[in-house]
Amino acid sequence: MNDKFFDLKQEKQDRMINASLKIFSRGGYRHASTDEIVKEAGISKGLLFHYFGSKLGLYGFLFDYSARFMLLELSREVKRSETDYFALTKQMEQARMQVMKLYPYMQRFLDVAVKEENTEAVERIAEKKLDYEDRLRAYSMQADYSIFAPYGDSVRVTKMVRYTIDGLTDEMSERYDFSPEKLFAEICAYLDTLRRMTIKET
């Protein structure tokens, strides 16, 4: 990657990043087209390759940039002392909503990238992917999952929470009046309901 990319105006950087995130998040590395990316970004293909060298170079940059950006927001929002599972989940989602305000497709790109099967792409991001997943796991491990026993199965509960959040995100993202703030409010409402369903408060 050409470091002069960061000399561009922030608006142009973000336009190129957002266009790339959007296209790569649709169907992964193999199906992403640089023609679509440059069209979405409103730039020439020559400019794209000037800064990133190749489609693979762009993909590697995107993953590194996205993982760093997401982890930075998580470090700002998540309290290291928090052990309540539902409070911790709200803090992590708040971080993701902050990211979504600037980069609407970043979380979706990361979700698709960690499941990527294209050998070339997998090898390019392998080391950074491991670090990203390890650090996400560390946040999740802060929670005290014993609160679910004997009233709920922690594995099923956490899967139910993830399915709920992912479903709400997919559904609400398609609405004409979508905003990260509205999505976060709805996620919190569902988390409060799930808490009442799965934990017997003392």
Residue 159 — pLDDT band, cuts 50, 70, 90? very high
pTM (2 d.p.): 0.92
Higher-scoring residue by pLDDT: 201, 42: 42
In a domain, 200, yes or no: no
- Residue 57 counted as domain residue: yes
Residue 104, preceding bond cis, omega within 30 degrees? no
Does the pLDDT value for residue 126 go beyond 90?
yes
Identify the pLDDT of residue 152.
Answer: 67
For residue 82, the model assigns a pLDDT of 96
Going by the DSSP 8-state scheme, the letter that residue 152 receives in this structure is S
Q: Are 147 and 199 in contact (CB under 8 A)?
A: yes
Question: What is the count of structural domains for the chain?
Answer: 1
Q: Is residue 163 domain-resident?
A: yes
What six digits make up the tokens of 125? 């991001």
Domain assignment present for 155:
yes
Tell me the mean pLDDT in the region 71-80. 96
CATH number of the domain enclosing 62: 1.10.357.10
Give, to the nearest 10 degrees, the angle between helix 45-52 and helix 55-77: 70
- Residue 68 is encoded by which pair of tokens? 């760093």
| Residues 128-152 pLDDT 10s | 999 999 999 999 999 999 888 766 6
Q: What is the pLDDT of residues 34-64, one digit of tens each?
A: 999 999 999 999 999 999 999 999 999 999 9
**What's CA 64's distance to the chain center, in Å?**
12
What is the reported pLDDT for 153? Answer: 81
**139 occurs within a structural domain:** yes
Q: Is the pLDDT of residue 201 over 80?
A: no
**Mean pLDDT, rounded, for 113-129:** 96
In a domain, 201, yes or no: no
- Note whether residue 35 is domain-resident: yes
* Residue 202 resides in a domain: no
Mean pLDDT within 6-12: 94
Taking all residues of the chain, what is their mean pLDDT, rounded to a whole number?
Answer: 93
Q: 157: Cβ–Cβ under 8 A, 6 or more apart, which residues?
A: 148, 194, 198
* Domain of residue 86, residue span: 3-195
